[in-house]
Amino acid sequence: MRDNDFKTSCHHMSTCALTGASAFFDAIPGSFMLINGPLWCYFYAMKYVEDYDASALRRFHCTQPEGNALVYGTEKDLLAGLDFVKANFTPERIFILNNCSVSLVGDDIAGIAAKAELPCSVYAADCGGIAGDFAEGYEIALLRVIAEVKKNAEAKTDVSFEHAKSQNCNNGSAAVSETKSENAAEVKVSASANPAISSAKPSVNVLGLSPTYFRGEEDIKEIRRILETAGYHINAIPGGGSAWSEIIQLPQADLNLVLRDELALKAAKELQAKFGTPYLSVGMPYGIAGTLRWLDAINAVLPAKNREAIRQEAETVNARLQFRSSNMQSLWGPLWFDNILIAAPPSEAAGIAEAVRGEWADTGNLVIHFTQDTALRPKAATKICIAGKDDTAMKETFENWSGGLVMGSSLEASRLVRLKKPFVNCNIVLPAYHEIIATDSPLCGIRGAAYLFERIWNAKLSGCMDEVKSIR
């Protein structure tokens, strides 16, 4: 492969499964990621995570297997890597992530890790690029953690049974066999959890969020704020900053909310099958009206006690946005774009399309480029293309572009620049090479609605100023 082709492939395609799994595990405080693969895979995954987590460099290490390891196994290199971690760090748990080539070897990772005699728990996952892209890697990591949740639930049942037996013994002994398992330790946490929390408020797990998404950390905070204000107790947000002790208690929730199907729908079905917890696929909340519909959908399944507080906040913010819009329309005319292109994962693209066309802007043509396959077909879209299926149609979108608003990433922007096509831009997904992110504004929810409204109007005004300057 030519060097230029290689660079294009690396920087203009979705990130691999190893990156998705790394992002998920990194979001669990106290975790350490050991990449069992070459330096390239290590640097790629670590740097992607480091863009939002400055401590990633101190929480990642690489085994750098020798060339013959693909034939004889990676035991030597893996033990050396684990010894390095043991000597230099004190993680609460270690996640060993095999890259593409190492995944094919078939090493007994758990057996090798046991030889290292580490003072913490070690978990392994095969998540190389062969498994898929970021979404598949995130999904693999989430399912791997759910397997530990199941073990914890089974251990809790066993401990309860042994405790009941001991209470019936004549000697009154309450001895329980000891184990070094991290999950066994969490049994005590689960058993001592405050039942008043779950009984006072309806409890939910929020699935499918990651701080590595564009303004992902801010979106997580906004979603948590909205749900808690409405009266829900957030049981856990796996992959979104929740501690291991919270994730282990996933079965305690009344409902699992799936915000991105490509990341967490399979996991929600697994939790339902294993623990009987129902799930609701609600997508991401965008826009004022969109956020209220999102909350109403959740409320219909699991009623909240303070939904009116969010409705009042939404009305206040919406009134302010309408006032600002009226002022700008008197100067620059309506918020109109000849064309709008939205290129993003399903939840983002569908939700933002409905908010943009349904609440704020007018357009003659709204095209969606879904970056993952989905059954979503938002009514706001004039045309829908799916990456990998409709590539020819996607190419035509760029070649026939005549101007308008592009809501996507630097990839769409750079393509239109190369084609010398006019456009105004609003980033909504990564990579965003031509924008610095320094504020804490989310994209979703009520605060996100104000931010998106501001960005879209400013994109229009930027285009208007360019026209004025070209006349002079």
pLDDT value at position 161? 40
Note the CATH number of domain 142-281: 3.40.50.1980
Say whether pLDDT at 198 is over 60: no
Helix, strand, coil proportions of the chain in percent (round to 5)?
Answer: 55, 15, 35
Q: Could you give the strand order of the β-sheet that contains 383-386, starting from the edge strand earlier in sequence?
A: 383-386, 366-370, 340-344, 405-408, 424-427
The whole-number average pLDDT for the span 187-211 is 66
Check whether domain 12-132 has CATH 3.40.50.1980, yes or no:
yes
Which amino acid appears at position 362 of this protein?
D
Alpha-carbon span 161 to 108, nearest angstrom: 32
pLDDT tens per residue, range 300-359: 999 999 999 999 999 999 999 999 999 999 999 999 999 999 999 999 999 999 999 999
Name residue, tokens 């748990």: 93
Decide whether 12-132 matches 142-281 in CATH topology.
yes
pLDDT tens per residue, range 139-191: 999 999 999 999 999 887 654 544 444 444 444 333 322 333 454 433 333 33
pLDDT tens per residue, range 62-100: 998 887 767 677 889 999 999 999 999 999 999 999 888
The whole-number average pLDDT for the span 200-209 is 95
- Give the predicted TM-score (pTM) of the model: 0.88
The answer to whether the CB of 264 falls within 8 A of the CB of 207 is yes
Task: Residue 95: name the closest of 156, 29, 39, 190 by CA.
Answer: 29
Alpha-carbon span 138 to 274, nearest angstrom: 20
> Can you identify the CATH homologous superfamily of domain 324-471?
Nitrogenase molybdenum iron protein domain (3.40.50.1980)
Boundaries of every domain in the chain: 12-132, 142-281, 324-471
Task: Residue 387: name the closest of 225, 252, 221, 262 by CA.
Answer: 262
| Token code pair at residue 67 | 């060339």
- H or E, element range at 425: strand 424-427
pLDDT value at position 71? 60
The answer to whether the CB of 449 falls within 8 A of the CB of 286 is yes
Say whether pLDDT at 2 is over 70: no
Q: How confident is the model at residue 233 (pLDDT cuts 50, 70, 90)?
A: very high
pLDDT tens per residue, range 16-48: 899 999 999 999 999 999 999 888 899 999 999
